[in-house]
Copies of this chain bind each other. A is one copy, B any other.
Amino acid sequence: MPPLPFGPPPVPPLPLAYDAATDRAREECAVFGIFGTPDAAAHTALGLHALQHRGQEATGLVAHDGDRFNAHRDQGHVGDVFSSRAVMDRLVGTAAIGHNRYSTTGAPNPKNVQPLFAELDLGGVAIAHNGNLTNAHTLRADLIRQGAIFQSTTDTEVILHLMARARGRMVDRLVEALFQVVGAYALVLLTQRKLVGVRDPYGVRPLVLGRLGDAYILASETCAFDIIGAERVRDIEPGEMVVITEDGLESFHPFPPVAPRPCMFEYIYFARPDSIMGGKSVHAVRKAIGRELAREAPADADIVVPVPDSGVPAALGFSEGAGLPFDLGIIRNHYVGRTFIEPTNEIRHLGVRLKHNANRAVLEGKRVVLIDDSIVRGTTSVKIVRMVREAGAAEVHMRVASPPIRYPCFYGIDTPDEAALLASRLSVEGMANYIDCDSLAFISLDGLYRALGEPGRDPARPRYLDHYFTGEYPIPLVDEEDGSRTRQLTLLREAV
């Protein structure tokens, strides 16, 4: 390993009881909308529950009852925030939108819980957003200079202010606003008469259309249809806007067309395996990744063991591709909550295994292929490999179902800074060293494209968003260039 400018990799820190930062590093958000059913709020709450994996910090929904908007938002899981009959009874409406929010750094601000709402002169509008606007800080600063007062620190609110200042009907205003924003977004909006869904021109974030009887549904993933017995109609197309009213659904393509770039990480990690995304089964793609990985980076081993739960489909594919038995060598404890005992010094050195435990009976004496979906900071991998070794594994060959993540995301995924990404600091060999595995291999970027049904990555016209691996950001990072990313977004800190 060549000398690194920042010195040798640190001795792996003693694993904490619960590496919350690592876990949170890969969440994003979920949106849901329904129009034309008497119990819109309950349907929305169920849809949000099915999308819980996309964001677990907070959730909210706004319903419209023909007269007023009725809203409820709170920190916590969907099943808790919407568990009270009294709350649900007040959320009357035949149309509703909802949102799950991921964890951000610092104290969560209750004002940021979506859907956001604004009363415009045309009437009210609620909005929920998955994605990230890359010129939000710049626009926000402009709007504030023009006299706008922001009620949240979200980028999403910029869209509301642009709509408030635009002219024309609500949908025209939305288009006018979206022409000014840059970034990734899958949006659902609710007005007094309409449910609107729109996906950015590149189609970075997913949005699917479903039906349940006469009702139309929009959701981040199809698993939100399954929970209420709705059927998938199709994906909302990149750059498409659908407007759903009592008269049915109209589709628009207001933006100049660009070559779509849906986010690869949905397939690798975010989406639930039972979802259909871009017409592809997420589970099937993950298995195909595993098979590719077995072909690209075989290992002389006895068993294939996933890091549960996200590594399981790729491990099944690897097992199939490599002809090696699949087994559950690591058990995940699903009861891990957000908070737990802060470890005292006395127990910190125990290397407490709150979330995963090795299954010695499976691992002992075995040469193990360990499959994980990705490596972000590497701290979880260090813990897992150590645990597998302590359970008696003879060898640990780590295979990763994504290429090395070297670049952060600015399109809606809460990744750490580049400096904290293990693959941006170390070579594959260095990473193997750090993680202390006998071999380490990542799927190639071409292999990943192949698993998605492409012949490989076409450098001239890549079909997916893959900046994590390439550093190529197709959507301009306006705030970054502007230097405004480091600008203080807000002056107010709430004591929650």
Interface, chain A (partner B; CB < 8 A): 17, 37-39, 42-43, 45-46, 49-50, 52-53, 56, 62, 68-72, 77-80, 82-83, 85-88, 90-91, 110-111, 117-121, 123-124, 141, 144-145, 147-151, 157, 160-161, 164-165, 192, 212, 223, 226-229, 272-274, 276, 281, 283-284, 309, 312-313, 316, 320, 325-328, 331, 333-337, 339-344, 346-347, 350-354, 357-362, 490-496
Contacts and interface: CB of A to CB of B under 8 A. Distances in A.
Contact of A53 (B78, B117, B123, B335): B335
Query: Considering the complex of A and B, which 6 residue pairs feature the smallest CB-CB distances, nearest first?
Result: A281-B361, A151-B151, A79-B337, A147-B165, A124-B491, A72-B495
Given A83-B341, A361-B283, A273 B351 contact: no
B327 A357 contact: no
Nearest to A120: B144
Contact of A347 (B46, B328, B331): B46
B346 A77 contact: no
Contacts of A148: 147-149, 164
Contacts of A273: 328, 331, 359
Contacts of A340: 49, 79, 82-83
A494 B39 contact: no
A346 B42 contact: yes
Q: How many copies of the shown chain assemble into the complex?
A: 4
9 contacts: A117-B492, A144-B164, A149-B157, A149-B161, A228-B352, A229-B352, A274-B360, A316-B326, A316-B328
A149 B53 contact: no
Given A328-B313, A361-B276, A341 B492 contact: no
A128 B333 CA distance: 23
A336 to B, nearest CB: 7
A492 B119 contact: yes
Contacts of A56: 335
